[in-house]
Amino acid sequence: MTEVIRSGGLNNIESIEFEERCLEKARETGDRNGEVISLGSLGNAYQSLGEYHLAIEFYQQWLDIAREIGDRLEEAKSLSGLGNAYQSLGKYQRAIEFYHQWLSITRKIGDRTGEGISLGSLGNTYEYLGKYEQAIEFYQQWLTITKKIGDWTGECISLGSLGNTYESLGYYQLAIEFYQQWLGLAKFISDRNGQGMALSGLGSAYKALRQYHKAFEFYQHSLEIKRDLDDRNGEANAWFNLGLVLEKINRQSEAMNAFCNAREIYHAMGLDASLQDCNHAIELLSENVPRLASGLWFRRWLSHLSQLIKPGSK
């Protein structure tokens, strides 16, 4: 059996070239296990590059050989990869088929962690389809498993997923309950990114309930964490949400400042869709300019705008 040492630090292109050589060698020597490993690595590399059709080709070969040699764990992994690739292509029903096969194997071999992740993947896919009740069923099963096996990270994600789904259904109080549990656990395990996301979820739910002062507090705390983590996209989203809430409580000058801050970051990151939303919010708010006691914030906005659209700016 050929043994290949795989070193870290390779980018996707280098990884593909390396794994192609490993695959060729494994096939020459009849190393079926090595062939399985290379096929899986190639599928993952193409998945990371967004080349989903190529990823599927390698995942399918991986699946075929894993079944041929009777390796149930590798079979489960390949089914997971196929489900992920089809989900990325927006072919959700096909993804669901593979996720169900993956789930079945994890239960047969007693892989509780894999079982939980496959349940979460099914929930996520049903959520994409707008089938929220089915999504909740899978997320709830996932949550139960994470608690049994002490998977705190998985528990955080499942709590957040349940919060998001209940919010999508308009069950804001239930969403808040799950977001609060998520926030508490994220603090316990020192997951700062999770804390920021949970705080943002709470802000969103309270905003939907028109409890704007509470929403403001949660968005403000989320902003602080996103800044600490240097999460520029998260910071911009927090500023934008703060702008929406500040506008609702008649703090227009602060709302405009928040929108301007969001706009600068969206522009710098090239997030055109978010930038358009921000421009629209600024345009609507600017209609109130004559009715504001002070034009300071408006002059600041014009200054920001002139810097962003000057010749040669990108």
CA distances from 228 to 235, 255, 263 (A): 10, 22, 19
CA-nearest of 127, 121, 125 to 141 is: 121
- The pLDDT > 70 percentage for the chain reads 88
Q: Measure CA 195 to chain center.
A: 14
Q: Which pLDDT does position 242 carry in this prediction?
A: 97
**Does residue 251 register a pLDDT over 60?**
yes
The single-letter DSSP state of residue 290 is G
Across 190-197, average pLDDT: 97
List Cβ neighbours of 64 (8 Å cut-off, separation of 6 or more).
none
Q: Which pLDDT does position 298 carry in this prediction?
A: 47
Across 175-196, average pLDDT: 98
Q: Which domains does the chain carry? A: 11-110 (1.25.40.10)
CA dist 294 and 290 (Å) reads 9
CA dist 24 and 131 (Å) reads 44
* Lowest-confidence pick of 48-52, 199-203, 310-314: 310-314
Is residue 165 within 8 A of residue 127, CB to CB? The reply is: yes
pLDDT classification of 296: cutoffs 50, 70, 90: very low
pLDDT classification of 206: cutoffs 50, 70, 90: very high
Q: Which pLDDT does position 93 carry in this prediction?
A: 97
Q: Which pLDDT does position 309 carry in this prediction?
A: 46
Q: Which pLDDT does position 286 carry in this prediction?
A: 86
